[in-house]
Amino acid sequence: MAMHPAEAELVNVARRFAAVGAQVAQTFEQGQRQLRLDLLLSQERLCTAEGAQTSLAALEQLRHLVAAHKQAFSKFVTESSAQFAAVLAQLPPELQPEKQAAVTASLNRQLQAQAEFYRAREQWMEAAEAILPIDRLTSCIVHL
């Protein structure tokens, strides 16, 4: 049985948004790498006031990066949902429930995974923020 043109378009929309999603994720990862989060809580950095300030500034920049990523992801989901809805409406009525269920399940999985990612990243930022003042006072004593 041949694929309905709207089914092919659903596949195309999914591919386009997968590519956009990958690009948004790559941009976020690149931004994180530039912040050198691997050094954020390093003793070498936190042994000086300047290093501690650098870590605090990186943490603040990470907060802005996460906020920008949330905004981009929200726009991405809104646009993809609208495009999927438009294509689903073009399907023959007998195909719509099955395809709509598949698209909805996929979007829900994506939303859940992204929400878990944001929760984990925010918990990490809160933990780092809580550790920074303590480390500033104690980490250098270990090296003396």
pLDDT tens-digit readout, 99-132: 999 999 999 999 999 999 999 999 999 999 888 8
When pLDDT is averaged across residues 57-80 and rounded to a whole number, the result is 94
Question: What's residue 137's pLDDT?
Answer: 52
The answer, yes or no, to whether residue 139 has pLDDT greater than 80, is no
Residue range 4-55, pLDDT digits in tens:
899 999 999 999 999 998 999 999 999 999 999 999 999 888 888 888 889 9
The answer, yes or no, to whether residue 142 has pLDDT greater than 60, is no
Cα 140 to chain centroid distance, Å, stands at 34
Q: Are 139 and 43 in contact (CB under 8 A)?
A: yes
Domain ranges of the chain: 50-144
Question: What's residue 35's pLDDT?
Answer: 96
Q: Compute CA distances 61 → 25, 45, 128, whole Å.
A: 17, 17, 13
Interhelix angle for 96-143 vs 49-90, to 10°? 180
When pLDDT is averaged across residues 84-104 and rounded to a whole number, the result is 94
